[in-house]
Structure 1
Amino acid sequence: MKKANFALLPLAVFIAANVQAEEQLDVINVVSENSGAKSKTNVITTKIMERSTETELKGLLKDEPAINFGGGRGTSQWFTIRGMGQDQVDVKIDGAYTDAQLFHHQGRFMFDPSLLKRVDVQKGTGSASAGIGATSGAIVAETVSAKDLLKEGQDIGFKVHAGVSSNSGWSKGATAYSKAGPVDALISANFVTERDYKAGNGYKVKNSALGQRGLLAKFGFDLNENHRIEVSHRQERHYGVRALREEFDFAQDNNAANNAPRYRITQNDTTNLEWNGKNMGFVTHAKANVYHSVINRKEPSENSKTRLIANGANLNLESAVGQSHLIKYGVNYRDQEGKPNSLTVQNGVQMKTQKKRDVGVYAEGIWGLGAFTLTTGLRYDHFDFRAMNGKKSHKGSVNPSVGLIYEVNNDLSFNASLNYATRSPRFHEVMLSSGSTRGRSAVYSIASNIKPEKSRNAEVGFNYKLADNLSLNGSYFWQTVKDTHAFTQIRPGFYEIQNAGKLRNHGYEVGAAYKYEGLTLRAGVAYSKPELDGRTVDSTVTAIPIGRTWTTGVSYRFTQPDIEIGWKGRFVQHTSYDATTNNRGGGATTTKRPGYGVSDFYITWKPTESINVNLALDNAFNKYYRSHSQRAGVSTLPEPGRDIRLNVNYTF
């Protein structure tokens, strides 16, 4: 375990007062995790993606047992972190994110990994500096820039890639990047085309075909050696003949008409302006960004368009205090508006678009005290919410956080943390927020005295590393979310967001890896048990009970030629529960989710420094199964069956 001048918590980077720019960048990229399995940096990097055939985040995170994705492609998928659903977690790209959903039969995350430089994973409740609504975890990503790809002495470069899948898909893409003096630029485009895939039993899943397009343009300007500005625009577009309820195929239940297939488009456009600065006297490092995001859902044949608009800004500052301490402080701001296709008049009241504003300020200290590292933080968040009937509600809350790391020696450390965070009320799904549904009044308002959801996460963990051969990490957590939100019917056609209960979750995660020369062995296990008011909760937006999940891997990498061969396994144990009682299993309303095991084999070959050839056999034994991270039932989407995948990428 690397010992640093500043002991640190994961994702908190120590910066000495007189370090050089190059040294600072090295420190930022070092995986210096001392928090068990709670946080992981560089889970996905550009180099990892270059040696992979995967085109979705789902495939790239197969090794993470605490993260689960549902069936299907694109926004058919629902994902969980430690069993917590999509209303409790976030996906952040370049500091931009929303917490609202367009439609309750559609996942709310769009993510093209080909556009990214790195992906980090945060689990459980975040510390004071984790941002707005950090109650249950996040996937945090950073888009790639020209400076990340240009080699020393290179002023212009290109990258191209192409892939094919035997289970009805292909992909292609290109990236161009260059620099001239202090200016650099990157333009990247990625296209994925997938037809209806076959599940493990040979059944062709209806309306699972999907076209995906990812575009990124990023321009950077180095004002001087201490200051840099970047402006970028990212677009992710999903399109095709899709079922109305994307996570279902009712043809499996002899009701294909209920799929209501129609050509539909979902598109996310995000523009981001970012500034990075350092060595500014008391402020050692600064990062600020302003973003504008628009997510559209269109049905051209119906002339229907639903939009979610988000504008936000973040200012994050760091100041070194002496040689062993760091203070982090800043401001987070986000404004959201949901615009349905139309707005109606209900009981003489003109419906309005839903609006919400979140503002947070924080201060966090990281104190190096010999073998101990203490982190103390305090955060204040405030929200203003306007419901579709014009009713408003607002509330502020204070959230502390504390963490402690004890480094027994350079190889072994123990950690403990207690974090609090709040999450403001979410919009009613934007697509159905006109005030009327199926010709009937459907007004969703908000309680005057509503409180934000408040999460408390206590966690203990350890990290052990023996030279470069053996590494172990583990965490056990206890999480409680008070004042959870739910829509309650007040009278026919009128509902309110109210505080509705207490969500508890507990579980563990353990990981191990062993390396010897070219051989790598890896294993991990994760378990969680979410309950709402003492009852097992089964909701894709709140929490889902996931069977105990095991991940395994064996690989060997040869030096000459540069070839790696490997096997990856993901095994999920069966689970059963009764969501209406305090008992798991054994009742008339018991939900049973069968366990499953899936094996993937792969070969990667790097004939030159510029070329990667990747071949994979996913779901090698053609297993028919459904992920636990989605709704239960015979109509939910099974996962793809056997799939032979080939990808080639070339950089020049």
Structure 2
Amino acid sequence: MSSDLLRALTVSTAISIFLCPEALAQSAPAPEAEAGTSTSEENEEAQAPGAAGTQLDTILVVDVGAGANATAGANLITIDQQEIDRKKPQDLREVFSGEPQIAVGGAIPSTQKIYVNGVDENNLAVTVDGSRQNNKVFHHNGTYLLDPALLKAASVQAGVAPADAGPGALAGSLGFETKDAVDLLEPGRNFGGFVTGIWDTNSETFTTGVSGFGRQDGFEYLGYINYGRGGNFTAGNGQEMPGTGTDLISGLAKIAYESVEGHRFELSHEQVRDDELRPYRANVYINRPGREPELRNYDLRRQNTVFTYTDTSPEGWWDPKVVLAYSKTQIAAPEYFGAVVSPTEGATSSFNGKVENRFALDIGSVTAGFDFYNDKADLDYLNPTEPFFTDERATNIGAYAQARLEPFDRTRISFGGRADHQWFTGVDDSDWNNAGISGNISGEYDLMPEFLTVKAGTSHVWGGVPLAENYLQNPAWTYGDGPEPVTSNNYTAGLEARYNGFTFEANVFRTDINDARLPVFGRGALVPAFTSIRTLDLVSKGWEIGGRYDWDAGFVSVKYADINADVDGVPADTEIGRYLTTPLGQIVMIGAGYSFDDWGVKVGGDIEIALKTDRTLVRHPTDPASEKKELPGYEVVNAYVEWTPPSKPNFTLRADALNIFDEAYTDRAAYGQDFVGVAPHFDPGRSFRLSATARF
């Protein structure tokens, strides 16, 4: 479908809904369905303001990691539905804006990577709707391409994660949860949908999304498709950034059935594809005249399929959950050597699942179960004369238990452990078996009830042998005495004070990762200790402080983080930190929002300030020759205004002013900016994003 046709479809649909909302209002439920309205729906209807059709905010209990509950004493960061609705994010960086502990590097969605307390997300237990993600394909691309349009919540447990967050939670857990039909339906309705159109003035990118959803007789369904098309963006210095265009399509489908007894079965499938011209290395500009063209096509695809069973009406000790999932990420990009073209494709996949039960106790709960994954990372290098095909595989089975208790007044504790056994297979078909034990404990205590809480936690994590990046695999690799399992130790402590709408928080943290696998392709005679099974040690530490004031119509928040990471005792750079860390330093985030409810208007904005750091001037022993440079500071200011006419509550207009002062900068977590001779992407300069959403 052409972009012009999509624009016409979006505009015409939006206008019709704006002019005739009554004709397109969500269908009323059948009488028998209305009689079965849940208690939560009755409460929402009872609390609704006078205007009919107004959609109410929903209080969400979000999962953490692979479906785990939040842990007392943990350093928990939650982006809930209310926050997502306020931000209307278009990429991962906007999802986590305002949280300096979470840095997202990359100027375009397909190259974005997430760092939590300075640690790459590949060292966290990352899940989408409970499905384990295995996305380490190519370090010049992002590890997780996400369309936030139907994101329900994102939750991070930084550092210390519970045992039921899943295997490999070396530096915490990161869980994304997508919306269900009931999250989108207005109270008392059985069918609905929306259409949205977004125009970005900088890159002249138009994005349109259409969704339909409903429920009937215990069944629920949801369908969504989103398409974006546009050109290169211009940086704050007026320079066009080649290879930053948009050609992205994403979709989500869900179907569920819930019996009257509370047995819920859900099946979801999500796909995202980014297929566009990118630089030789997608996240930086490296000039190789005569051998490589300036741009090449990168085709990035990701899919995620999840089956989940839960009991929504648990009784006593019976509160089961079953997850069975398959996820896959693949990148196809040709390699050029003059006139010789070698099509290359790398793919990672994970077949994973778990069975667990939550045992309710008088003083809390215990969750116990087992999980598994079968991960694969393969590379097809189709050189005309010397093609090769490689893969590494890992299978893991784990058993775990996590207690969450309130044994005394004002005291909440959590502790747990897991045992894992992993079978690893190398590119030479050599097999290696390893096993290990992980444990965690954390807690919090109300020094002054409803005013001051202190918290702390620690964990030891056994992570097995991580699979190598696909695009670095070498068919000549051998593994010597065998790859070393990676382990970590995490420490967090903090406090939170609350008074009359004010919240103050402070946290300190440290993560030590030992024997982190960071292989290189290798040339000439291959020595496993320096190629296939090379390991490094990471120490990432820092502190965070913040304050927030909430009142009926708005909020103001300020947060500051100072994060530094060393690899093998030397300050990290973006090259040695591949899939491990990145230089961050000091970052300040400021945010504010205000609602004029009588007019249906919301306004707000945010400021990101990164301070200059010269820790990157140190040359790492693994690359003593490359000349380095410091990371400059920058300030970026964004603002928005949103209007939902009280007379047309199904129609919303929004305008975002991004990088208002046209700052020329590269975001702090982006790759390559600390090396002389490497030109990273600048981030987009000033842009205005205009959007319209019509709900029916």
Per-residue deviation at 1:342? 4.9
Distance 1:444 1:122, change over 3 A: farther
Q: Which residue of 2 aligns with 1:13?
A: none
Deviates more, 1:217-226 or 1:86-95: 86-95
Cα shift readout 1:159-184 (whole Å, capped 9, x = no counterpart): 11111011111211011011120111
Q: Which residue of 2 aligns with 1:602?
A: 640
8 Å contact from structure 1 (residues 33, 40) kept in 2:
no
Cα shift readout 1:389-435 (whole Å, capped 9, x = no counterpart): 11121211111111121012023211111112122323232245362
Aligned counterpart for 1:559 among listed residues 597, 613, 618: 597
Give the Cα separation in 1 of the matches to 2:484 and 2:411: 36
Aligned counterparts, 1:50-89, within 5 A: 50-89=85-124
8 Å contact from structure 1 (residues 50, 612) kept in 2:
no
Matched, 1:638 2:682: yes
Matched, 1:358 2:393: no
Matched, 1:319 2:319: no
The amino acid of 2:634's aligned partner reads Y
Matched, 1:206 2:242: yes
Matched, 1:492 2:500: no
8 Å contact from structure 1 (residues 474, 509) kept in 2:
yes
Q: Which residue of 1 aligns with 2:266?
A: 230
Structure 1 alignment gaps of length 5 or more = 1-19, 436-442
SS state at 1:607 partner:
coil
Q: Which residue of 1 aligns with 2:9?
A: none
Distance 1:615 1:642, change over 3 A: same
Distance 1:465 1:29, change over 3 A: farther
Distance 1:228 1:21, change over 3 A: farther
Q: Which residue of 2 aligns with 1:429?
A: 469
Per-residue deviation at 1:259? 5.6
Distance 1:279 1:561, change over 3 A: closer
SS state at 2:110 partner:
helix
Give the Cα separation in 1 of the matches to 2:202 and 2:380: 36
Cα shift readout 1:18-61 (whole Å, capped 9, x = no counterpart): xx9859x96836999786782123x142x544444531121222
Q: Which residue of 2 aligns with 1:440?
A: none
8 Å contact from structure 1 (residues 37, 509) kept in 2:
no
Per-residue deviation at 1:199? 0.6
Give the Cα separation in 1 of the matches to 2:593 and 2:314: 46
8 Å contact from structure 1 (residues 197, 205) kept in 2:
yes
Cα shift readout 1:355-384 (whole Å, capped 9, x = no counterpart): 111222111112212221121211112221
The RMSD of aligned alpha carbons is 3.1
Aligned counterpart for 1:126 among listed residues 158, 161, 172: 161
Distance 1:159 1:55, change over 3 A: same
Aligned counterparts, 1:434-513, within 5 A: 435=475, 443-467=476-500, 469-487=501-519, 492-493=525-526, 495=528, 496-498=531-533, 500-513=535-548
8 Å contact from structure 2 (residues 589, 609) kept in 1:
yes
Distance 1:21 1:332, change over 3 A: farther
Q: Which residue of 1 aligns with 2:35?
A: none
Per-residue deviation at 1:582? 9.5
Per-residue deviation at 1:385? 0.9
| Percent of residue pairs bearing the same amino acid type | 21
Cα shift readout 1:543-582 (whole Å, capped 9, x = no counterpart): 1120201001233321210212223100011111257579
The amino acid of 1:649's aligned partner reads T
Q: Which residue of 2 aligns with 1:374?
A: 413
Per-residue deviation at 1:448? 3.5
Distance 1:273 1:256, change over 3 A: farther
8 Å contact from structure 1 (residues 34, 463) kept in 2:
no
Per-residue deviation at 1:483? 2.0
Per-residue deviation at 1:530? 1.0
Counting matched residue pairs gives: 614
TM-score, length basis structure 1: 0.87
Distance 1:281 1:73, change over 3 A: same
Distance 1:412 1:200, change over 3 A: same
Q: Which residue of 2 aligns with 1:619?
A: 659
Matched, 1:402 2:438: no
TM-score, length basis structure 2: 0.82
Give the Cα separation in 1 of the matches to 2:294 and 2:63: 49
Aligned counterpart for 1:152 among listed residues 170, 187, 202: 187
8 Å contact from structure 1 (residues 352, 390) kept in 2:
no
Per-residue deviation at 1:151? 2.3
Distance 1:517 1:231, change over 3 A: closer
The amino acid of 1:647's aligned partner reads S
Matched, 1:96 2:131: yes
The amino acid of 2:225's aligned partner reads A
Cα shift readout 1:204-240 (whole Å, capped 9, x = no counterpart): 0011112111101100001234210001111011111
SS state at 1:385 partner:
strand
Distance 1:259 1:245, change over 3 A: farther
Aligned counterpart for 1:38 among listed residues 75, 84, 87: 75
Q: Which residue of 1 aligns with 2:3?
A: none
SS state at 2:61 partner:
helix
Give the Cα separation in 1 of the matches to 2:469 and 2:401: 34
8 Å contact from structure 2 (residues 465, 485) kept in 1:
yes
8 Å contact from structure 1 (residues 98, 310) kept in 2:
yes
Structure 2 alignment gaps of length 5 or more = 1-37, 42-57, 335-340
Aligned counterpart for 1:328 among listed residues 357, 367, 374: 367
SS state at 1:628 partner:
coil
The structure carrying a bigger strand percent of its residues is 1
Distance 1:463 1:196, change over 3 A: same
Give the Cα separation in 2 of the matches to 1:343 and 1:261: 19
Give the Cα separation in 2 of the matches to 1:591 and 1:459: 32
Give the Cα separation in 2 of the matches to 1:29 and 1:74: 24
Aligned counterpart for 1:105 among listed residues 103, 128, 140: 140
8 Å contact from structure 1 (residues 330, 362) kept in 2:
yes
